[in-house]
Structure 1
Amino acid sequence: MAGFIEGVSRDQTVLFPDRLDDWIGEDHLVRVVDLFVAELDFMDLGFSRSQPAGTGRPGYHPSVLLKIFIYGYLNRIPSSRRLEREACRNVEVMWLTGRLVPDHKTIADFRRDNGPAIRRTCAQFVELCRRIGMLSGACIAVDGSKFKAVNNRDRNFTKNKISSRLAHLEADAERYIKEMARLDNQEEGQVCSEKVANLARRQKRIREEIDRLKTLEAALPEAPDGQISLTDPDARAMATSARLSGLVGYNVQSAVDTDTHLIVAHDVTNQGFDRTQLLPMAISAQKVLGHKKVHVIADKGYFSGTQIFACHEAGISVTVPRPETSGNRRKGKFVKADFHYDPERDVYHCPAGRELIYRYTRQEGGLNVRRYWINECQNCELQDQCTSGKERRISRWEHEYLVDEMRNRLGRDPDPMTLRRCTVEHPFGTIKAWMGSTHFQMRRLKNVRTEMALHVLAYNIKRAVNIIGVSQLMTAMAE
């Protein structure tokens, strides 16, 4: 009968290769990291301590610590303490750093103190991809995703949350007082005294919590967005796509090339909505790509008349579905899309074939809106399907031709929204899978932006390698 495979004795002498380089294959990913960092101008990027000090103990060159972090985010190791351990035992990290082992505080301080430089380094790799022809810039998909912060939901406070907690705590405190009074009246002895003392301690803790919540409630009016987060002051409670669910975190924005799925531009905000992010992300993508004409697609959460027109003025065409704010379609009634606009005569044609003519213009939300209606609705056979008022009124934004053009693009094949979903949600899913069930390691918005830049840089490096391979990418870097 055959035995099991047996390992080598721990006492056996082993002849390892004499060079660390022999452990690293020619097409290994760390060679890309090493060459990319070697080509950077650390002074120009703004890294601190790029020049050695004249006195004192020599420090680590920024390239060493940057390599450690890029390797860490490529391999799902964002923690500075874990990176310190990897520098002691991981042959790949030893090869990258020349067997240097910075302590975890030095590693963490580098990430904290060099945020802007790290973000510029991320942009530098995107510029490299553009220079070697990997970014066509034909179409860019924009989307946002919520990422969890260090701050727990129980340490984030809003007016409604504090009011609800105070109501429950006041009820508990009252219940304890009544129970102590009942015990005093009905029971005697040592057991009764212990019960009353225990209830008194609980009631005291509740009163302390009530006082703490009232202090927070008094500070709410001066807090940004009416929220207070105790662990990470910049984190905000945000709704997610899951029904009746939410998290305390940040809203990460990304602009992704639809051909290669490379992240062209990104940003992190603590606003829980996307309406104001279309123009900033489109402009960022336009600058990175170096194209005057850029086509951007986004979901209906980005629909904003002012943002769409500003993109048009900047030479950026956008495709964003218009959200349906009326409930008429669910009621089986006509909606605005059922009314046809005639630009030559400046009238709307209703489903009954009548014309709604222009009446006046007014401002709504900073936009000039034209109003159209007809006075014959009461005699129309389709009135029950159209309106319950005397006349059906239609509003038209003065630049609504841009919305009409977007609607026409949405009706073409292939479907832009399908392209958007298959493009921009892929990087978010990949990065969140790398993060696992954890959250951002750092606190405050500026530091979270640094951490996200490292995630994006790691994603783009892996994506570029998957597209053109290690050798071709390294050849392009060296040119």
Structure 2
Amino acid sequence: MKRFRPCDLDQPFLLPPSLQDWLPEGHLARFVANVVDALDLSPILDTHARKDGRGKAAYHPILLVRLLVYGYAVGKRSSRQLERATYDEVPFRYLAADQHPDHDTISTFRQVHLQELAKLFLQVLALCRKAGMVQLGQIAIDGSKLAANASQRKSHSYAKLSEREQKWLETVEQILKDAQAKDEQEDNEFGPGRRGDELPADLATAQQQLDRIRAAKKELEEEARRRAEQAAKEKEAQGGKPKDESQRKRWYRSAKGVPSQKELGNLTDPQSRVMIDGANNRYIQGYNTQIAVDQKQQVILAAEVTSQQNDRQQLVPMVDAVETNVQAKCSLVVADTGYWNEGRIGELGERGVDVMVPPDGFATWRRTGTLPRNGARGPLAVKMRERLTSEPDATQYKKRSGIVEPVFGLIKELRHYRRFLFRGLEKVRAEWQMICMAMNVWKLHRHQPQVVLA
């Protein structure tokens, strides 16, 4: 007769079970626990300290940080998903020490400490450098569009927003007049017994709509003002002489400092923009995410987010971010055609940073031997085309796509991060740094899964 091992679900344990028996050695969850223990969480811990010791015992912040870091590393960031996982999935149950914080607790913790959690990106990057994963030989920069937590249908042109603002302003004024007339009628009928500051329900709705419209218009106006200030500074620094035709056109468009009547603003997330997602060539309401990746182990060295639809102004800020984060000078930076900006590339060259970026129209020129009518024709563009068609630079540049694009593939395809949870540029930037921090933790684990970081 065949013998089987017992599988009685009611079998009692003779000794208490140990959490350490739940996962195999080298599991990512064990590694995350070690990483979190090695991080400086004092800014988060200090906010939870009570000197008098009153109140119900709360879930430990370290437990919640473990859940969030591991969740982001494996593609689970919804607070409800994380709560369910503490019951259903052994790694989460292990990290939660067999406790089960509810989704409200997880969500509130993340919202309250979002900026401090984002700063952990730099601490994890320091661990990657300590492990020898950062070489700073060739750095690849790229951008990708991620959807905002907002509907594209809620985007309207500046002219339309102005029209709707006037409509809702008239509505609010009429409601206030009606309310005042009603108050006077009731005072005459019943005496002045009401406080008189109650907000009618229809006024609350109308005022909310008016506030949203004004917020969207304000964001468009501030962005136009920033563009005008930047253009004015560049023009003064260059003595009024643009470095190329694109810069001259940008100066002209930005001079007035007011938004175009056709420029779109969103009522749900005013800082998001309608932009083309190059991966599928369609419009989304979103943000432009940026990463700089090291060639050796594809560690993310810098992670930023912008509301600008294209990458032309992002090269210098990303190089600055890398040099600030790693406290070292970049030697070679490569990026795709979308980053071509003769003025910016010239600025980096003056700083001693070697940059390889194909000019506008480079692909057409390489294929046909002729430039399109709008192709870049400045002196740097001519030199860059010559450089990228000669060895060994041509071979070196071809490595770009294999360095940075797989990282976006990991984030968007394998971890399914295609939409932000938060709204507003500041919070979205913090969330993006949390995502990139978790990706670096995952890469650090693959590099040395058995390491004890404490």
TM norm. shorter chain > 0.5? yes
Gap change, CA 1:28 and 1:319, over 3 Å in 2? same
Is the Cα–Cα contact under 8 Å of residues 252 and 269 in structure 1 kept in the other structure?
Answer: yes
2:280 and 2:130 map into 1 onto residues whose CA distance is 43
Is the Cα–Cα contact under 8 Å of residues 87 and 100 in structure 1 kept in the other structure?
Answer: yes
2:160 and 2:448 map into 1 onto residues whose CA distance is 52
Larger Rg: 1
Which residue of the partner structure matches residue 462 of structure 1? Answer: 442
SS in structure 1 of the partner of residue 399 of structure 2? helix
- Counterpart AA for 1:404: K
SS in structure 1 of the partner of residue 275 of structure 2? strand
Q: Cα offset for 1:403?
A: 6.0
Deviations 1:414-436 (A, max 9, x none): 53442111111111111112443
Which of 387, 396, 415 pairs up with 1:408?
387
Identity of aligned residues (%): 30
Q: Cα offset for 1:215?
A: 11
Gap change, CA 1:130 and 1:396, over 3 Å in 2? same
SS in structure 2 of the partner of residue 259 of structure 1? coil
Which residue of the partner structure matches residue 121 of structure 1? Answer: 120
Once the two structures are overlaid, the 10-residue window that deviates more, 129-138 or 307-316, is: 307-316
Which residue of the partner structure matches residue 134 of structure 1? Answer: 133
Gap change, CA 1:16 and 1:74, over 3 Å in 2? farther
- Counterpart AA for 1:463: K
Which residue of the partner structure matches residue 232 of structure 1? Answer: 269
The two structures, once aligned, show a CA RMSD in angstroms of 3.8
Is the Cα–Cα contact under 8 Å of residues 159 and 217 in structure 1 kept in the other structure?
Answer: no
Gap change, CA 1:232 and 1:9, over 3 Å in 2? farther
| Runs of 4 or more consecutive aligned structure 1 residues displaced over 4 Å after TM superposition | 5-17, 159-163, 212-223, 325-330, 332-336, 394-397
SS in structure 1 of the partner of residue 44 of structure 2? coil
- The TM-score normalised by the length of structure 1 is 0.66
Which residue of the partner structure matches residue 62 of structure 1? Answer: 61
Q: Cα offset for 1:222?
A: 4.2
Which residue of the partner structure matches residue 327 of structure 2? Answer: 290
Gap change, CA 1:406 and 1:51, over 3 Å in 2? farther
RCO (CA 8 Å, sep 6+): is it higher in 1 or 2? 2
Which residue of the partner structure matches residue 450 of structure 1? Answer: 430
Which residue of the partner structure matches residue 84 of structure 2? Answer: 85
Q: Cα offset for 1:298?
A: 0.4
SS in structure 2 of the partner of residue 449 of structure 1? helix
Q: Cα offset for 1:48?
A: 5.9
2:209 and 2:34 map into 1 onto residues whose CA distance is 54
1:157 and 1:395 map into 2 onto residues whose CA distance is 33
Which residue of the partner structure matches residue 311 of structure 1? Answer: 348
SS in structure 2 of the partner of residue 47 of structure 1? helix
Which residue of the partner structure matches residue 198 of structure 1? Answer: none
1:129 and 1:213 map into 2 onto residues whose CA distance is 47
Is the Cα–Cα contact under 8 Å of residues 286 and 294 in structure 1 kept in the other structure?
Answer: no
Q: Cα offset for 1:251?
A: 0.6
Aligned residue pairs total 363
Is the Cα–Cα contact under 8 Å of residues 319 and 410 in structure 1 kept in the other structure?
Answer: no
- The TM-score normalised by the length of structure 2 is 0.69
Query: Which structure shows the bigger proportion of residues in helix conformation?
Result: 2
Is the Cα–Cα contact under 8 Å of residues 148 and 423 in structure 2 kept in the other structure?
Answer: yes
Deviations 1:286-337 (A, max 9, x none): 233333342100011111122112222333211111113999999x89659x
Deviations 1:193-252 (A, max 9, x none): xxxxxxxxxxxxxxxxxxx99999898754416333233232211012267621111110
Q: Cα offset for 1:147?
A: 0.6
1:109 and 1:434 map into 2 onto residues whose CA distance is 27
Is the Cα–Cα contact under 8 Å of residues 50 and 61 in structure 1 kept in the other structure?
Answer: no
Which residue of the partner structure matches residue 17 of structure 2? Answer: 18
Gap change, CA 1:286 and 1:329, over 3 Å in 2? closer
Which residue of the partner structure matches residue 247 of structure 1? Answer: 284
2:381 and 2:362 map into 1 onto residues whose CA distance is 19
Which residue of the partner structure matches residue 52 of structure 1? Answer: 49
Q: Cα offset for 1:82?
A: 1.7
Query: Which structure shows the bigger proportion of residues in strand conformation?
Result: 1
Is the Cα–Cα contact under 8 Å of residues 254 and 265 in structure 1 kept in the other structure?
Answer: yes
Once the two structures are overlaid, the 10-residue window that deviates more, 56-65 or 292-301, is: 56-65
